[in-house]
């Protein structure tokens, strides 16, 4: 009977864990769940810390898009007014004449910008050359000193 009792105890130990083992297992599961929750909380806190900056960036982008849209509307309105003046009647902004006028106007604008750039480069080159000449001649240094004194 002691043999049967020992077998039953061994079987119970194998199949039914002790209260201490069950408590340890439960504690391990709880600590794992707490660690996961802490991790999630840290991620949420980090994202919440970034939230004001993200909102500000979004609002800035929204303002910039709105401003750009208003500028484009104003540009289109001015182009339509110019087309009305040029052709003597109201044009639709999708019409071929209007599109052609816009392309021509942009081409003119690019040419003007190119000319302005070329003119500025010429002015800068001329100033650089003058300063180089002035720096190299000893008399010019004296003249510049006299001009500063007066």
As a whole number, the mean pLDDT across the chain is: 87
Question: What mean pLDDT do residues 37-42 have?
Answer: 98
CA distance 74 to 68: 10
Which H or E element spans position 24? helix 19-87
Q: How do residues 76-85 score in pLDDT, each as one tens digit?
A: 898 888 888 8
Question: What mean pLDDT do residues 3-28 have?
Answer: 87
CA distance 136 to 114: 33
90 phi and psi angles, rounded to 5 deg: -70, 130
Position 147 scores a pLDDT of: 63
Where along the chain do its domains lie? 1-91, 92-149
Position 95 scores a pLDDT of: 86
Tokens of 14: 């194998």
CA distance 22 to 29: 11
Q: How do residues 91-120 score in pLDDT, each as one tens digit?
A: 787 888 888 888 998 999 999 999 999 999
């Amino acid at each position: 009977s002691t043999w049967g009792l020992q077998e039953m105890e061994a079987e119970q130990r194998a199949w039914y864990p002790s209260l201490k083992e069950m408590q340890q297992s439960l504690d391990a599961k709880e600590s794992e769940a707490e660690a996961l929750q802490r991790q999630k909380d840290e991620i949420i806190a980090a994202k919440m810390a970034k939230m004001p900056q993200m909102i500000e960036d979004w609002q800035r982008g929204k303002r910039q898009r709105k401003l750009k849209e208003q500028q484009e509307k104003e540009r289109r309105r001015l182009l339509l007014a110019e087309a009305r003046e040029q052709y003597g009647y109201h044009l639709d902004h999708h019409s071929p004449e209007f599109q052609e006028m816009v392309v021509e106007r942009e081409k003119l604008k690019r040419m003007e910008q190119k000319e302005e750039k070329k003119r500025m480069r010429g002015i800068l080159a001329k100033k650089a050359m003058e300063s180089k000449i002035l720096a190299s001649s000893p008399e010019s240094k004296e003249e510049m000193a006299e001009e500063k004194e007066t």
